[in-house]
């Protein structure tokens, strides 16, 4: 009796040990967070499932939100020391997160080829470096572009613009299209009005933020900003531009005036072209931003659209790195992702995609080639602390001027003063 | 008998301990919630308000600098102005709607229960995304409101939500529409007023206005005080509606940037948690002042039966 009981006991003990060993050996849980849109979410989930099928020992939990809520959530998670293992990072936040010691230096992993970036030029990876260390690998290359509704141009009997078109051409075009078809122009990049003005500054060989320490703006003369306002006011006066109360209120591509055929252009990042065009269901053109009068250099730049970073607090750094490598290099995975995050930086991935993408994505590939081929200037350093608040002031003053409550000159002075007040705290 | 009585009067220490433990066990969940989600956050927020805290790294003590910075922050004053404007119109409007509807429903009829439920509904769904979408559709440039106005020959093409002059009014209207909980409290108050008062007023030949002013309002005054207090506090802390309708940025030109929304932006979007906490304490101060003022004034307009005797 006693021996029987003890053998049962031994069997149970053995089973427990085996089970324990199994679970200790395998079963890694990784948390992956990104901001996105429905298209990106679906494709990323598919890649995650593919990865889990190939690596049954890994479970990946995903967290996704829109852009706005993402940084709020990530900030709270950082405060609670509960960041996911892999986070999607942005050029404007990566410095802040890296300097607070929250991100893992991926340099050694790249050197050991655990993340295989062989043959990728420095220009594609340097955006992820802070103080010489690599804190994020770029998931794609991006550039700001103008998306035009081909049908509206045709109806107005206009030719597609040349890459060298100017702001004067643009205004003429806007007025002509409005006169012939009643289709309007939105206010300049209404979701983030700074992006287009930044392009103008760069054409003038200036930067938005002071490059040295970000303790002030990079420009102090009001001339260009006043012209930015006045150009829009002229088109508002001729009714070629959508009034600001309507223009600023737009939310999703589904409901946008571009989709409804009430506007003929939108300034977007090249990786937003697909989701912007999707509800339109008609052909679009993408082209460079117009040049300002006496433009000194191209204002457009190639930007790492977003990064994957591994967090320093992760308990499974090796496994996290493995997944990042898969995401960057696996052809099957990238056939699912279809360059939605931007044009991939790994050559063989880019080549395999180029052969299979649809006409719209082909246009985007060609556009990035066009930008890379003498139509760009180097990217500015990442935004300093306080940038978010400065952009909010830019938007507020922009609205004040376009609603006619502040004169352009007064608005420009007001913005420069308020922005410098915010940035002054960066002085060391 | 004797010993039994003594046992009840003075329980043995052990049993007392057991009784107490059982008691604490029963209020345990509440105690946990109170400490974890109220008391500790209140104390930490008081401490954070004296620090520079960017969420990503540990807070640094900086004394009263956050409070000093507020005085120079033009957006802070703007958001304060927006909030006062909102409270000044949203609270009275909501109370008036609530009282009118409560009087309408204060009858004996089977359908009244249904009506009450229907009119309470907006208060439940008020903070949801669905309502924000509905509100956007109603007040857009090509929304339902403009279509209805067009039927009457009024041709407006403005977006009520995007226009700087009208944007805040869409929020105030939404608040007025969510009168449900105040309405229920008014309704309970109305049912407490003895029917005999109205009967004797009828005998004296009083009209309905006279009855409303001389009976309903005084009899209801303590309920009005309660609703006024609760809704004023609610008004100062309004967040969700402003957040969803303006897309979280207080558009246009910060004209719908209510205090709590700015507090949220500072804390979570700009990573200035210390400043956000300081703002929260200023809000506590403002609400305390208004509550005190309302209480102080109440002695001159709230009618308590007991005082009469």
Cβ distance A249 to B245 under 8 Å? no
Q: Which of A76, A243, A389 sits opposite B55 (nearest CB)?
A: A76
A257 with A181, same domain?
yes
pLDDT band at B8 (very low <50, low <70, confident <90, very high): low
d(CA B223, CA B298): 11
Chain A CB within 8 Å of residue B41 CB:
no
Q: Residue A268's pLDDT is what?
A: 92
CATH code, domain carrying B100: 1.10.3720.10
Average pLDDT over residues A166-186: 96
In a domain? residue A357: no
A152-162 pLDDT per residue, tens: 999 999 999 99
HSE-up (13 A, CA, CB side) for residue B273: 22
pLDDT of residue A5: 55
Domain with A279 in it: 144-302+377-426
Q: Do A283 and A311 belong together in one domain?
A: no
Where residue A322 sits, what CATH number does that domain have? 3.40.190.10
Q: Are residues B274 and B129 in the same domain?
A: yes
Q: Does residue B26 fall inside a structural domain?
A: yes
- The predicted structure's pLDDT at residue B44: 95
Whether A24 has a pLDDT exceeding 60, the answer reads: no
- Structure tokens, B122: 């907006």
Enumerate the β-bridge partners of residue A31. Answer: A61
Clarify whether residues B44 and B70 are in a common domain: no
Residue A8 has pLDDT above 60, yes or no: no
Query: Is the pLDDT assigned to residue B309 strictly greater than 70?
Result: no
The helix-helix angle for B74-105 and B167-177 (nearest 10°) equals 30
**B60 within a domain of the structure (yes/no):** no
DSSP symbols for A358-426: -HHHHHHHHHHHHHHTTS--PPPPPPPTTHHHHHHHHHHHHHHHHTTSS-HHHHHHHHHHHHHHHHGGG
For residues A33 and A122, membership in a common domain is answered with: yes
pLDDT category of residue B291 using cuts at 50, 70 and 90 = very high
**Is there a domain that residue A402 lies in?**
yes
Query: pLDDT tens-digit profile of A367-412?
Result: 998 998 889 998 998 888 888 899 999 999 999 999 999 999 999 9
Do B300 and B182 share a structural domain? yes
What does the pLDDT average to over A108-134? 90
**Chain A residues lying within 8 Å of B54, measured CB to CB:** 96, 100
Q: Are residues B151 and B284 in the same domain?
A: yes
Task: Indicate if A154 and A81 belong to the same structural domain.
Answer: no
Q: Torsion angle of alpha carbons A227, A233, A235, A236, nearest 10°?
A: 160
Q: pLDDT: is A218 or A381 the higher one?
A: A218
Residue A9 has pLDDT above 70, yes or no: no
| Residue B126 pLDDT > 80 | no
Q: Are residues A25 and A111 in the same domain?
A: yes
**Residue contact A79–B249, C-beta within 8 A:** no
Tens of pLDDT, residues B114-124: 888 888 887 77
Instruction: Determine the structural domain holding residue B119 and report its residue range.
Output: 66-308
d(CA B179, CA B124): 10
- Final residue of a structural domain among A286, A321, A340: A340
Tell me if chain A has a CB within 8 Å of the CB of B146: no
Closest chain A residue by Cα to residue B256: A396
B11 and B151 within one domain: no
Overall average pLDDT of the A125-148 stretch: 92
**Number of separate domains in chain A:** 2
A264 and A250 in a common domain: yes
Mean pLDDT for A115-122 is 90
- Residue A317 inside a domain? The answer is yes
Task: Tell whether A393 and A259 lie within a shared domain.
Answer: yes
User: Are B12 and B138 contained in the same domain?
Assistant: no
Q: Give the residue on B whose Cα is nearest the Cα of A396.
A: B253
Cα(A236)–Cα(A316) distance, integer angstroms: 55
* Same domain membership, residue A189 and residue A60: no
Chain A residues whose beta carbon lies within 8 Å of the beta carbon of residue B129: none
Q: Which residues on B lie below 8 Å from A389 (Cβ)?
A: 270
Reported ipTM exceeds the 0.85 cut: no
In this prediction, residues B284-297 reach a mean pLDDT of: 96
Using the Cβ of A246 and the Cβ atoms of chain B, whether some distance falls under 8 Å is answered with yes
**Spatial CA neighbour of A375 closest among A145, A122, A127:** A145
Q: List all residues of chain B from 157 to 196 with a beta carbon under 8 Å from chain A.
A: 157-159, 161-164
> Same domain, yes or no, for B183 and B304?
yes
Whether residues B142 and B290 share a domain: the answer is yes
CA nearest to A83 within chain B: B56
Same domain, B44 and B71: no
CB contact under 8 A, A249 and B254: no
* Domain co-membership, A202 together with A113: no
In-domain check, residue B59: no
- B124 shares its domain with B236: yes
Residue A315 maps to a domain: yes
Size of chain A in residues: 428
Is A401 among the domain residues? yes
Are B107 and B27 in a shared domain? no
Measured distance CA(A148)–CA(A156) in Å, rounded: 13
Which chain A residues are within 8 Å of B275, Cβ to Cβ?
Answer: none
Interface residue of A74, A184, A246 to substitute, partner B, most B CBs within 10 Å = A246
Same structural domain for residues A291 and A151?
A: yes
Task: Note whether B268 contacts A403, CB cutoff 8 Å.
Answer: no
Over residues A249-273, the pLDDT tens digits come to 766 777 889 999 999 999 999 988 9
Q: B44 and B167: one domain? A: no
Position B1 scores a pLDDT of 45
- Same domain? For A8 and A59 the reply is yes
Mutation target vs B (from A35, A68, A75; most B CBs, 10 A cutoff): A75
Domain termination site, one of A340, A355, A389: A340
Q: Same domain, yes or no, for A209 and A260?
A: yes
pLDDT at A206 over 70: yes
Here the tokens at position A286 are: 């993408």
Q: Give the distance from residue B72's alpha carbon to the nearest chain A alpha carbon, in angstroms.
A: 10
Contact present, B301 and B221 (Cβ < 8 Å): yes
Residue A36 within a domain: yes
Q: How many domains does chain B have?
A: 2
Q: Does residue A174 sit in helix, strand or coil?
A: helix
* Residue bearing tokens 């004394």: B63
Domain presence at residue A165: yes
* A361 domain residue, yes or no: no
Q: Which residue, among A247, A264, A257, has the nearest Cα to A148 in the 3D structure?
A: A264
Domain assignment present for B205: yes
């Amino acid at each position: 009796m006693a021996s029987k009981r003890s053998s049962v006991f031994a069997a149970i003990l053995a089973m427990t040990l085996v089970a324990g060993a199994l679970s200790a050996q395998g079963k890694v849980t990784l948390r992956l967070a990104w901001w996105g849109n429905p298209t990106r979410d679906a494709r990323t989930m598919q890649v995650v499932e593919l990865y889990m099928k190939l690596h049954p020992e890994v479970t990946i939990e995903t967290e996704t939100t829109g852009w706005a809520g993402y940084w709020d959530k990530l900030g709270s998670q950082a405060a609670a020391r509960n960041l996911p293992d892999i986070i999607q990072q942005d050029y404007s936040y990566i410095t802040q997160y890296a300097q607070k010691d929250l991100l893992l230096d991926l340099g050694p992993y790249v050197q050991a080829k655990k993340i295989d970036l062989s043959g990728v030029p420095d220009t594609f990876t340097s955006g992820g470096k802070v103080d010489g260390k690599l804190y994020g690998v770029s998931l794609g290359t991006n550039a700001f572009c103008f998306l035009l509704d081909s049908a509206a141009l045709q109806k107005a009997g206009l030719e597609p613009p040349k890459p060298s078109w100017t702001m004067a051409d643009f205004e003429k075009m806007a007025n002509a299209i409005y006169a012939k078809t009643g289709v309007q122009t939105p206010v300049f990049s209404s979701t983030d009005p700074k992006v287009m003005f930044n392009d103008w500054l760069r054409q003038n060989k200036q930067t938005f933020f002071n490059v040295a320490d970000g303790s002030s703006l990079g420009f102090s003369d009001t001339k260009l900003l006043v012209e930015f306002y006045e150009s829009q006011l002229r088109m508002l006066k001729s009714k070629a531009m959508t009034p600001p109360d309507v223009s600023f209120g737009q939310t999703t591509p589904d409901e946008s005036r571009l989709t409804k055929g009430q506007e003929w252009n939108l300034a977007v990042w090249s990786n937003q072209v697909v989701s912007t065009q999707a509800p339109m269901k008609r052909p679009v053109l993408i082209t460079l931003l117009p040049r300002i009068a006496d433009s000194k250099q191209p204002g457009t730049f190639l930007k790492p659209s977003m990064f994957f970073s591994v967090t320093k607090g992760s308990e499974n750094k090796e496994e996290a790195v493995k997944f990042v490598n898969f995401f960057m290099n696996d052809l099957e995975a990238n056939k699912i992702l279809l360059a939605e995050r931007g044009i991939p930086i790994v050559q063989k991935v880019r080549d395999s995609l180029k052969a299979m993408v649809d006409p719209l994505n082909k246009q985007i590939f060609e556009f990035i080639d066009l930008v890379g081929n003498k139509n760009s200037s180097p990217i500015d350093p990442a935004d300093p602390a306080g940038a978010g608040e400065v952009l909010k002031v830019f938007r507020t003053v922009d609205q004040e001027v376009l609603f006619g409550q502040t004169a352009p000159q007064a608005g420009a002075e007001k913005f420069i003063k308020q922005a410098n007040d915010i940035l002054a705290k960066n002085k060391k | 008998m004797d010993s039994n009585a003594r046992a009840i009067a003075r329980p043995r220490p052990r049993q007392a301990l057991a009784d107490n433990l059982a008691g604490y066990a029963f209020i345990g969940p509440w105690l946990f919630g109170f400490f974890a989600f109220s008391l500790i956050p209140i104390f930490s927020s008081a401490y954070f308000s004296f620090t520079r805290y960017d969420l990503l790294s540990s807070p640094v003590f900086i004394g009263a600098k956050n409070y000093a910075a507020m005085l120079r922050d033009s957006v802070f004053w703007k958001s304060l102005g927006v909030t006062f404007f909102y409270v000044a119109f949203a609270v009275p409007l909501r109370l008036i709607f609530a009282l009118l509807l409560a009087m309408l429903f204060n009858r004996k009829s089977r359908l009244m229960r249904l009506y009450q439920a229907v009119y309470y509904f907006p208060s439940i769904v008020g903070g949801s995304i669905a309502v924000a979408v509905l509100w956007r559709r109603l007040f857009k440039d090509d929304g339902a409101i403009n279509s209805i106005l067009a039927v009457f020959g009024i041709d407006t093409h403005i977006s009520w939500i995007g226009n700087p002059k009208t944007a805040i009014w869409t929020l105030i209207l939404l608040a007025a529409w969510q009168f449900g909980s105040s309405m229920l409290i008014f309704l309970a108050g109305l049912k407490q007023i003895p029917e005999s008062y109205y009967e004797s007023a009828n005998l004296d030949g009083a009209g309905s206005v006279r009855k409303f002013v001389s009976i309903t309002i005084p009899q209801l005054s303590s309920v009005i005080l309660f609703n006024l207090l609760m809704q004023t506090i609610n008004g100062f802390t309004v967040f969700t509606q402003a957040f969803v309708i303006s897309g979280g940025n207080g558009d246009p030109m910060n004209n719908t940037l209510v205090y709590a929304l700015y507090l949220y932006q500072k804390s979570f979007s700009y990573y200035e948690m210390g400043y956000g906490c300081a703002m929260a304490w200023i809000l506590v101060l403002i609400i305390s002042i208004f509550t005190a003022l309302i209480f102080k004034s109440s002695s001159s307009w709230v009618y308590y039966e007991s005082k009469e005797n």
